[in-house]
Structures are given as C-alpha cells and as structure tokens.
Amino acid sequence: MPYEGQEKIPLALQRQIAGAPDQTMYLLLHVSETGAAQLAEIERAGYVVRQQTSIIPCYAVSGPGRGLQALAKKAWLVKVEEDSAVHTMQE
C-alpha cells in the first residue's frame, strides 16, 4: 500500500524494511535543512544519529526500519539510502 513519501526510499530498501521492520539499519538521510527540530524528529522515530555532514546536508543514522515511513513524510527529508562502505578505484 503506497504511503506519503515512499518515493524518497528506494524500492529495494522498502522491501527490506517490509521483510524485517525491527532489523537495525544503517541509513543516510539526505535533508534540505539540518537543526534541532530534525534531530528531535529523527530520534523520535527511533534512530540514533551517528554523524551529521554539512557540505551535503545529511545524517548518518542507525535504527529499526519501521520508523522510516514516518520520517519519509517530512518535507525536509529529500531521500534515503543505505549507509555502506565506499570504495575508490585503484590503478
């Protein structure tokens, strides 16, 4: 069933959350603005903010997938992606 904000969450991540809503997930929340209000809402949804970046406004969070639907409805949340290791190409 569609819900407001679902377009901000990749389909594969939506399926992963649906299959295991209480599983701890490591996510990057790309936002249009950062501040105390956003931090409070993220924590209220059950997430722990592990890091915040300012060049690209983003929060690295961990917590259960079930809280993501509520956050996806927030206007300040631009998109969500899984937080994973980044590898560079070596020559």
Average pLDDT per consecutive 10 residues, the chain (91 residues; last block may be shorter): 76 91 94 94 96 93 92 94 82 68
Q: In total, how many domains does the chain have? A: 1
In a domain, 55, yes or no: yes
CATH number for the domain harbouring residue 31:
3.30.70.80
In a domain, 50, yes or no: yes
| Structural domain includes residue 89 | no
Token code pair at residue 24:
């701890």
Cα–Cα distance list, 53 to 4, 15, 62 (Å): 26, 27, 15
For 56, the domain range is: 6-82
| Domain presence at residue 43 | yes
Inside any domain, residue 90: no
Q: What pLDDT sits at residue 1?
A: 47
CA atoms within 13 A on the CB side of 75: 1
